[in-house]
Amino acid sequence: MSIDTTINDQKAIEELNRIFKKQKTAFLNDPYPSLAERKERISKIPVMLQKHKTEIIEALNADFGGHSERGAHLLEIISMLERVKYNLTQIKKWMKPIQKAGNLVTQGNAKVYLKSHPKGVIANMVSWNFPFDIGLGPVIDALGAGNRVIIKPSDLGPHCGELMKKMIKDTFDEDLVAVVAGDLELAKYFPTLPWDHLVYTGSGRVAKLVMESAAKNLVPVTLELGGKNPVIVHEDSINDETIAMIAGVKAVKRGQICVTGDYCLVPEKTLDKFVNKLSTYFSQHFGSDDNGAAHACGIITDRHLKRLHHLVQEATDVGAKVINTGSDIDSAGRHMPFHLIVNPSPELGIMQEEIFGPILPILTYKNDDDIIQHVNAGDHPLGLYIFAKDQAFIDKISTYTHSGGVAVNAIAIQAGQPSLPFGGIGASGMGIHHGEEAFREFSNQRGYFVKKGGGLYDAILPPYDKSTDQLIEEAAYAPLAQQALFALKKLPSNIWGMITGK
């Protein structure tokens, strides 16, 4: 697929304003789509993905300088099919009003409930590493909640962005779902509109700018960021299954994932055993054939590749133990080999920033408290991973640390569960999507109170009289026994009011 990657930002901004206005108007005319309409809308996404799956693989190859075909199917297409399938079975239940407790004495048989209403027009600012999964995932959730959506793909993936625009245009009316692609000026302008909700996936640095722009219009935001996700290994779990999981997940997208393991914490006395097993696994499975290109993808740009090279070189220059498990990069490719860096000093770049690439530092600990202290000393990560059989160890580490999500004897898989909310805490993000929690996130949780018969409204509302004094003294401030007696005295008249509706 060949496209012109030169984008006119002014034209894109004009297009965004036009579509935004169109979607706002459409929402006002259709503020509460039926269950059938919502299901019909999200059901179009699997059909769209199946129709364009060959083009999706071609676009990923073009933007990443090579991308695993199997990985594309699993991570960018099938994951969305599963998410749609799950949501379709649940939306009817999620749309039902949620009954809330009232006060039988003072409010009679009033009806108190919560109903989820669509918010309106949702913005989705997509990161480059999962252009289709992150591009469409929040759309599935937002459409299920009855909203309309405008997607802004990353300018670092122009082929994927252009394909997404084509796919969406062929599938949806632009007053329901649309894609607007552009470069830096569009990215700056996009969050300044008065959206009803905005989703941003990317770096914390940019998230602060996005949130600052959104705040000027009091736009609620969902920020899906990242962080230095720890992989904590107990001495009882340094085995082949643990090694395969750590290395396998790190190979996905060549480590360019917000929920991948950013560094390992292993027992000091088993360091050599762990390093030898892990380096051998990387070398055997991802060390040849262009550094495991068939299973991963390239580094997204030359700029990102230079940053990763700098992190490795900095560690090498200060004498850290650096293990290259692959071969040199072909001059025409961006398939960087996987590196292990053993016990790097904390001031190095690899320990100060999210790595987002094929580099895995390995640190040691002496006891449980070392782990907790280390994890809590930094920003809260998006994911926390514990490999252990010892349940007391698992409970202690997960209880005394904080993260967006937790996986035990696995890495990143919690982020792909359609039924689990996905999101961070603190520096790793705010808000959530996936599943019922996403439905609530993209809905206005509207509280309803419907007055019916019974209750003590005459005593509660002005003009106040002796009945008000009685309510205050004999109920509100009284001991529980006296409150119960007060309610018993009012029971006959309250029941009569509920029967007559007065």
Catalytic positions are 224, 258
Element (H, E) at 198: strand 197-201
**Hey, how many other C-beta atoms are within 10 angstroms of the C-beta on 227?**
26
| Contacting residues for 228 by C-beta, under 8 A, at least 6 apart | 262, 263, 351, 353, 354, 355, 378, 379, 381
> Which two tokens mark 221?
């935001």
Element (H, E) at 433: none
Q: What are phi and psi of 122, to 5 degrees?
A: -105, 135
Q: How far is CA 178 from the centre of its chain?
A: 21
**Hey, how many other C-beta atoms are within 10 angstroms of the C-beta on 463?**
6
Q: Which of 2, 8, 3, 4 is nearest to 184 (CA)?
A: 8
Report the C-alpha gap between 272 and 370 in whole angstroms. Answer: 19
Report the C-alpha gap between 59 and 166 in whole angstroms. Answer: 12
**Hey, how many other C-beta atoms are within 10 angstroms of the C-beta on 156?**
18
**Are 367 and 335 spatial neighbours (Cβ–Cβ below 8 Å)?**
no
Report the C-alpha gap between 104 and 124 in whole angstroms. Answer: 44
3-class secondary structure, 413: helix
> Which two tokens mark 317?
């220059």
Tallying the residues shown for the chain, one arrives at 502
* Cα→Cα distances 185→6, 11, 12, 285, Å: 13, 11, 9, 42
Question: How far from each other are the two terminal CA atoms of the chain, in whole angstroms?
Answer: 71
**Are 403 and 379 spatial neighbours (Cβ–Cβ below 8 Å)?**
no
Report the C-alpha gap between 338 and 23 in whole angstroms. Answer: 45
* Cα→Cα distances 23→164, 241, 495, Å: 19, 49, 49
Amino acid at 425: I
3-class secondary structure, 56: helix
Q: What's the helix, strand, coil split of the chain in %, to 5?
A: 50, 15, 35
Q: How far is CA 158 from the centre of its chain?
A: 23
**Are 331 and 290 spatial neighbours (Cβ–Cβ below 8 Å)?**
no
Burial label for 352, CB within 10 Å (0-12, 13-18, 19+), is: exposed
